Amino acid sequence: MLQVKEASRKTFWPALCAVLASAAAAYALVAWVLQIQSLRQAASAVPVVLSESSVPVGGNNSSHVALALGAPLPSQGTKPGADQSSQAAYQWNLLGVVAGVSGKGSALIGVDGQAPKAFLPGQTVAPGWVLHSVGHRLARLAPSLQDKPTVTLELPK
């Protein structure tokens, strides 16, 4: 003899809580798996390393490429080879300037593709280079604070 017994409402809530708890656990598991997989994937931007054999045979046309990409023209007063070897040793990237009327301020500069850092005038930006002064949308670098600025970095307009 089979007896049919009605379920009470008290048994409904534990079942609902169990379903919700298992759904939350499944969501957490999927989130962790996706996060771990994203760490294992290679970066989308692959750095390019040029060897000496990959340089074009026709000579160094970096100045032409720089002009084509929007670099300012070299000034007429400087010789093409003068002091550019020390400037070319680093790749400067000016990301921001905070300059007051008094001449005090700071510049956000990245050196050779590293993360940018904030520098105050007088601080060493790279070995042999200090931030000489900052101005409206520009930063001036010099070998020392007493020397005349030889590198001027400007923000794009």
pLDDT of residue 32: 92
CATH number of 91-157: 2.30.30
- pLDDT tens per residue, range 37-88: 877 655 554 455 544 444 455 555 666 676 666 666 665 444 444 444 455 5
Rounded CA gap, 39 and 116, in Å? 24
Rounded CA gap, 117 and 54, in Å? 32
Contacts of 111 (CB under 8 A, 6+ apart): 90, 91, 92, 93, 125, 126
Task: Look at residue 121 and give its three-state secondary structure.
Answer: coil
Rounded CA gap, 107 and 100, in Å? 12
pTM of the model: 0.44
Tell me the domain boundaries of the chain: 12-40, 91-157
Identify the CA nearest to 92 among candidates 119, 63, 113: 113
pLDDT of residue 29: 96
Contacts of 156 (CB under 8 A, 6+ apart): none
Rounded CA gap, 136 and 42, in Å? 40
Task: Look at residue 58 and give its three-state secondary structure.
Answer: coil
CB 111 within 8 Å of CB 91? yes
